[in-house]
């Protein structure tokens, strides 16, 4: 008989000696909100605020970052601002090769699913959702008291930690630009970005909390010919190779001070 996510959640969510949950702040609720056609429904936004200490890099510095990791309802966002599409541009990254590693999340675990996606891209062995949840539940957090994950989101620092648990070194930085993102992808690095989900999905249309990062996505490509950013977005059922106007992506990304987690390992899948 197979083990279900419900069974795992029931087994681990009870009192466990010595285990402390990270403090949560509820920002808003999705109950009663109009749903987009075929869109997922989440019970609530679960917010973890994590201060990200300095991590040395050659060209970028790390500041304070807030990343709330959650799944909710959505549609792909509409473009905002002036396009910088270049008919002589190019594709950075390989979204077609990365697409098979997308998975739709069923918990508040987009950070975990982004890590699993990256592990799959680099090793060819993507952790299951249950497997990476259990890894998070039984790994001590480096950013707050208690565990990396307890059905309540994942901090950026802990995403770096989980990648390391799978043998992948990565660097967390803020203050990035589209040019540095493009070069990371061109070099075969795998990239997780912190974004505002309501902006990416434009849901609720023109409304909702749009000033704080509350979602993690894997950036799989940037096409400067069409001004499109390609994502593996675990938060919506259509998130495999989700295509977002660059202006929408940069607006959503700016809410995290342009936070990226970039792997040191590379390949050209």
Reduced to 3 states, what is the DSSP secondary structure of residue 221? strand
> What CATH number does the domain containing 167 carry?
3.90.70.10
Most confident option among 36-50, 72-86, 161-175 = 161-175
Task: Determine the Cα–Cα distance for residues 258 and 269; give it in Å rounded to an integer.
Answer: 25
| pLDDT for res 151 | 83
The pLDDT tens digits for 26-66 are 122 222 333 333 333 332 233 333 333 333 333 333 333 33
Task: Determine the Cα–Cα distance for residues 261 and 189; give it in Å rounded to an integer.
Answer: 10
Q: Is the peptide bond before 84 cis (omega within 30 degrees of 0)?
A: no
Task: Determine the Cα–Cα distance for residues 175 and 55; give it in Å rounded to an integer.
Answer: 13
pTM assigned to the model? 0.73
Average pLDDT over residues 162-182: 99
> Which of 199, 253, 229, 250 is closest to 95 using CA atoms?
229
Task: Determine the Cα–Cα distance for residues 137 and 11; give it in Å rounded to an integer.
Answer: 11
The pLDDT tens digits for 210-223 are 999 999 999 999 99
- How many structural domains are present in the chain? 1
Which secondary-structure segment (H or E) carries 189? strand 189-195
Answer whether 52's CB lies under 8 Å from 172's CB: yes
Length of the chain: 269
Identify the DSSP state of 79.
Answer: P
Identify the DSSP state of 245.
Answer: E
Q: Which domain holds residue 137?
A: 5-13+20-266
Answer whether 136's CB lies under 8 Å from 148's CB: yes
């Amino acid at each position: 008989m197979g083990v279900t996510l419900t069974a795992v959640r029931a087994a681990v969510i009870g009192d466990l000696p010595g285990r402390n949950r990270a403090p949560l702040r509820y920002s808003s609720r999705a109950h009663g909100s109009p749903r987009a056609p075929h869109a997922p429904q989440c019970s609530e936004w679960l917010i973890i605020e994590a201060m990200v200490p300095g991590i040395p890099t050659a060209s970028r510095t790390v500041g304070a970052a807030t990343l709330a990791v959650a799944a909710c309802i959505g549609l792909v966002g509409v473009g905002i601002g002036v396009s910088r599409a270049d008919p002589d541009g190019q594709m950075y990254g390989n979204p077609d090769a990365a697409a098979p590693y997308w998975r739709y999340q069923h918990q508040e675990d987009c950070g975990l699913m982004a890590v699993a996606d990256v592990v799959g891209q680099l090793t060819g062995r993507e952790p299951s959702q249950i497997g990476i949840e259990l890894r998070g539940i039984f790994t001590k957090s480096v950013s707050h008291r208690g565990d990396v994950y307890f059905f309540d989101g994942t901090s950026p620092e802990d995403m770096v930690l989980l990648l390391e648990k799978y043998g992948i070194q990565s660097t967390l930085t803020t203050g990035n630009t589209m040019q540095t993102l493009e070069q990371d992808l061109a070099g075969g690095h795998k990239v997780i970005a912190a974004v505002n989900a309501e902006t990416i999905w434009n849901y609720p249309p023109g409304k909702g909390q749009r000033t704080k990062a509350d979602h993690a996505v894997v950036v799989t490509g940037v096409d400067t010919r069409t001004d499109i950013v390609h994502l593996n977005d675990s938060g919506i059922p259509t998130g495999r190779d989700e295509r977002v106007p660059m202006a929408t992506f940069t607006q959503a990304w700016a809410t995290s001070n342009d936070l990226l987690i970039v792997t040191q390992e590379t390949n050209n899948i």
